[in-house]
Structure 1
C-alpha cells in the first residue's frame, strides 16, 4: 500500500493547497470604514506596519481582475509548474484523472499570487517547499516526461 512518507506528503500537500486557497480569500473583519470605497491614496499607505504579510483588499481585487500571465516570473515556481504533471504522475500522489485539475488549481493560485506585491516575495520559499515535498514523494524516481497534446492525440 502507501508508505508513511507518501501519506505524510499527501497530507502536507493538501494542507499547503488549503493554505494557498485561504491566502487569496479576503479577511472577514469588521471596521468602521465603508468597504469598497477608494480614494486617490493607495490603500496600503494607511495600513499598519505591524501586519506586513496581509494582502490588502485593493491588491487582491487588482490581482483577481488582471489576466493571468503565462509564467510567474519566479524561476523556482515556473520550474515547479513545468514539472508538476510528470512528477505527480511518477510519484502516484493523485489518481491520473485528478492531476490536470489539481495542476490547473495550483497554476492559477501561483500565477494569481505572483501578481500580488504583498504575496510575491514569499512565493519562492513556497515553491521551494512544494518542490522539496514532491522530490521526497518521488523516492528517487525520475519524473515522467510531459506528453505534448499533439503527440497524445495522434497516437504516436
Structure 2
C-alpha cells in the first residue's frame, strides 16, 4: 500500500494541475469568443464601407436618370417646337426636385445604416473585452479553486497525522 504522504502529495499536485488546466480552458474559450466578437466588429466595419459605396452609386444613378429625363424632355419639347420656358421648365424643375429628394433619402438611409453599424461594431468590441475579462476572472477562480482544494487536502493530511500522534 502507498504511503499516506505520497497519496497526499499526488492529491495536492492533482488539485493544482486540475486548476491550471481548467484555467487554461477557460482562457482559451474566452479568447475564442472574444475573437468571434472582433470578427463581427470587422464585418460591420466592412459593411459600413460597402453601404457608403452603394449609396454613392445610387446617388450617381439618380443624377444620371435625371440627366436622361431632362434630355428626353428637351428633345420632346424641341420636336413639338416648344421653347425651354413655361411648362417645359416646370417639368424639368419637378424632375430636378424629385431627384434631389431621392438623393436626400439615399443620404439619410446611408447615414442611418452607418450609425447602426457603428453601434454594432462598438458593441461587438465591448463584448470582446468583456469576454477576455471574464476569461481572466474565470481562470483566476479555477486556479484559486485548485489551490484551495490542494490546501484542504494538505491540511486534512496534516491534521490526520497530528491527531494520530496525540
- TM-score, shorter chain, exceeding 0.5: no
TM-score category, normalised to shorter length: 0.3 to 0.5
- Give the TM-score, by structure 2 length: 0.32
- Give the TM-score, by structure 1 length: 0.34
The structure whose residues are more often helix, as a share, is: 2
